[in-house]
Amino acid sequence: MDLPYIFEQMLRGQLGDEYPKFIGALNETPPVSIRYNNRKILNSELGTQNLELKKIPWHTEGVYLPERPSFTLDPAFHGGAYYVQEASSMFIAEALRQTVDLQEDVRAVDFCAAPGGKSTLVASLLSKNSFLIANEVIKSRVEVLKENLIKWGYPSVCATNHDVEDFAALENFFDVVLVDAPCSGEGLFRKDPKAVSEWSPDAVQTCSARQKRILAAAVKTLQPNGILLYSTCTYNDFENKENVEWLIQKFDLECVKLSVQAEWGIVEKPFGYQFYPHRVRGEGFFLSVFRKKNKGIPSLIMPKLNFEKLPKKQIEVVARWLQNPNKFDFFLKPNGVVFVILKKHIEYYALIDKVLKRKSTGLEIGEFKGNDFIPSHDLALSIEVAETTPSVNLEKMDALRFLKKETFDFDFEQTPKGWALVRYEGLALGWVKILSNRVNNYLPKDYRIRMAID
């Protein structure tokens, strides 16, 4: 791999005699890793039961695959059974376990969330009544973030599309703040050769300045005693060490030391933890953890919610689609879409509705067409869909045909007419409506498989 000279000199200074091993690792095939969804109703190791998979040391639900398969041709991928995530970045899970009481309900935000790997990781760790905002400032990346959150299926996550400075009114609101900052991408050189050609000292300085701006706004939203996690996929001191030192000098933060096992291969630095591909089975990554000092700042006053409530008669119709309808309040959007919010989150949505305009709101469960209720794809993939919902179980090829919106085989004459969840090995993939002479596929066309499946 032909690396920029200045970058080579920087890494030689960091690694000394280890530099040749680092270069050797960059010329190897990148490892492939996935993280299982611990709340989906299925055998969570679907498709990997017969493989001897090595666990990722710092995250119990992460595993390495022996090679990179075609994830598009795995129905379990479309149903949110797992997320394809780089192993080093899963260390965020271990950092949270060591610094946050995960049995308590907390308010969290991922400020740089797309495409959703770290947001789904955080959501999986937090208690079921915790509240997470997954924010992405770049509009073109929001849809893929939403798609991945829908696949993951948790009703406790709100996707937003704002600059971090738009959160200024949410001062002292969050217990956990994650800033996986846009960076120069040095840790991705092995996976993305384009990152090598785009690297320059000027780009590093630009990223460092951008990171400071994001961090300055993010810290203000953190509660006293709250936890800030700052990460990059890079090695240089400008974006890592110097930004961390700047944070400590400028704000009332203390760096939190983590317990890291020596055999993991992670390099502990004065203010953070560095991953090198020759030491770990993963890509370049840096993480630093802070706790905000307690200055006794009062909590925010929560306003009243202004959403239109769903009429009682319609609630009686739609409640049966949910496993635990009593823990939700039911609302109606101006466009007729029915959505639900966990009762424990009502005051949170009331507040962010005043502050953030571009956001998803609760779990969309469908809409009424006359007297008929049309369930949503979001509901199909949600962990909250009722277990008693009629289902059609398909073998792999027919599941792929459903996902491609092609004709698939099953005995619909022996299946009750009406709405049914299409399942693969117990995992919900979407809706069909079974009529007397045909089956209508309600998979959103934007989510269909476009490649050949034979």
Among all residues, which ones are annotated catalytic?
A: 233
CA pair distance 260, 279, nearest whole angstrom: 14
In this structure, the chain runs to a length of: 454
CA distance 238 to 216: 16
List the beta bridge partners of residue 309.
331
Q: In which region does residue 265 sit, left (phi positive, over 0), alpha (psi from -120 to 50) or beta (all else)?
A: left
End-to-end CA distance of the chain: 36
Q: What residues pair up with 345 in beta bridges, in sequence order?
A: none
- The token duo for 215 is 């961090």
Please state the φ and ψ torsions of residue 429, each to the nearest 5 degrees: -115, -25
